[in-house]
């Protein structure tokens, strides 16, 4: 049993030295610890070099460190990974297969396609429209080349899955949101958001449902942005509020592969009682302004009449001209009764005679 373990250890060391001679050192001749360390090192190399499973950090396991020839006490991340995937971060085709079993599946699928040709073309060929893109996964991994389309694409049955992504602009009418303003006034706000998918791969890999997530984020962003404004600011700064919401949404959906084109505040509805109160306040303000204007007009008219009376009193001829002008105006009205005003000077003369 010991000899078998020793031979297996030597063969494993030779295999690892071929894979990467720099990382391999002399394998310790310990049966139990050697087997455990060797198994750990094999699993680690399979994950990091041949894509067999998710990559994991190289922990400070003494057995694993001795097998790889690296004595460390701190954990080491072999390959930095990120949960966010973009069109530029796509592994090559040979890395997407990952295992010998994957190669076997691909070979069997191609054999099936050849044996059933040309009938297999009905399943393998897909037509993609101009406004669509397709993200293809082969045995669960992203196929090299990014999103495909438009035109005709080739799909390998049984091992390829794909998702169609619509690149057209989506218009979303945000449901009425009851928002408490900064000055403690409850208002109902409607808005419209226009967005589109800019990165099909990110929209598939980084979020479960990019469209639905963007809609939810639009509702919360609208509530948060308007909650920091007073009622007066809401009514007078709609464009600034829409621009603020667009900026926040665009930054929040960038790693989802979504581009926000435009945000518009459609309507801001006030409570009915507050609407009546504001209408009464506005009406009272208008009446006050009207009274002020009327008072100013009367004041100016009184000043003008006073100036005219002073001019007439200073010049008796002006009074006679005013008398003739009044007679002319009365005659123009075609009245049956004409009143002739008698000058006051005549009564003064009679009064002097009586005395």
Is the pLDDT reported for residue 58 higher than 50?
Answer: no
Whole-prediction pTM value?
Answer: 0.53
Q: Where along the chain do the CATH 3.30.479.30 domains lie?
A: 170-274
- pLDDT over 90 for what percent of the chain? 25
**Residue 56 — pLDDT band, cuts 50, 70, 90?**
very low
**pLDDT for 102 beyond 90:** no
Q: Is the pLDDT of residue 68 over 80?
A: no
Distances (CA, A) of 215 to 42, 73, 241: 46, 47, 18
**What is the model's pLDDT at position 204?**
92
Is residue 203's pLDDT more than 50? yes
- For 170-274, CATH number? 3.30.479.30
| Tens of pLDDT, residues 134-172 | 999 988 888 888 888 889 999 888 888 899 999 999 999
- Give per-residue pLDDT as tens, 8-48: 445 444 444 433 434 444 344 444 444 445 445 544 554 44
Question: Tokens standing for 254?
Answer: 């960038």
Low-confidence winner among 57-66, 286-295, 346-355 (lowest mean pLDDT): 57-66
pLDDT digits (tens, 9 = 90+) for 288-331: 888 888 888 888 888 888 887 777 777 777 767 776 777 777 76
pLDDT of residue 159: 87
The residues pairing with 142 across neighbouring beta strands, listed in sequence order, are 137
Average pLDDT, the chain: 73
Q: In which residue are the tokens 């009851």 written? A: 178
CA–CA dist 70, 238 (Å, integer): 62
Name the more confident of 60 and 329: 329
């Amino acid at each position: 049993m010991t000899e078998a373990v020793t031979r297996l250890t030597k063969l494993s060391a030779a295999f690892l030295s071929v894979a990467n001679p720099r990382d391999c050192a002399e394998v310790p001749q310990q049966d139990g610890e050697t087997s455990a360390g060797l198994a750990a090192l094999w699993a680690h190399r399979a994950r990091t070099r041949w894509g067999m499973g998710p990559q994991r950090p190289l922990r400070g396991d003494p057995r694993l460190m001795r097998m790889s020839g690296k004595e460390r006490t701190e954990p080491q991340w072999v390959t930095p990974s990120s949960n966010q995937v973009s069109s530029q971060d796509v592994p090559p085709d040979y890395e997407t297969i990952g295992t010998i079993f994957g190669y076997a599946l691909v070979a069997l699928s191609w054999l099936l396609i050849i044996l059933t040709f040309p009938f297999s073309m009905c399943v393998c060929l897909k037509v993609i429209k101009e406004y669509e893109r397709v993200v293809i996964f082969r045995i669960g991994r992203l196929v090299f080349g990014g999103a495909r389309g438009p035109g005709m694409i080739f799909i390998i049955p049984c091992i390829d899955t794909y998702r169609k992504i619509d690149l057209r602009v989506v218009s979303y009418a945000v449901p009425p949101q009851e928002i408490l303003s900064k000055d403690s006034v409850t208002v109902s706000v409607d808005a419209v958001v226009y967005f589109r998918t800019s990165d099909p791969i990110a929209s598939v890999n980084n979020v479960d449902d990019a469209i639905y997530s963007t809609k939810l984020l639009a509702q919360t962003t609208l509530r948060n942005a308007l909650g920091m404004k007073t009622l007066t600011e809401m009514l007078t700064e709609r464009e600034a509020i829409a621009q603020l919401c667009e900026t926040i949404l665009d930054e929040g959906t960038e790693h989802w592969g979504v581009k926000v084109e435009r945000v518009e505040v459609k309507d801001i509805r006030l409570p009915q009682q507050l609407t009546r109160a504001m209408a009464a306040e506005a009406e009272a303000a208008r009446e006050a302004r009207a009274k002020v204007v009327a008072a100013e007009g009367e004041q100016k008219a009184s000043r003008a009449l006073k100036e005219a009376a002073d001019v007439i009193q200073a010049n008796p001829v002006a009074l006679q001209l005013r008398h003739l002008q009044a007679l002319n105006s009365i005659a123009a009205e075609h009245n049956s009764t004409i009143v002739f005003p008698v000058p006051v000077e005549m009564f003064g003369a009679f009064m002097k005679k009586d005395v």
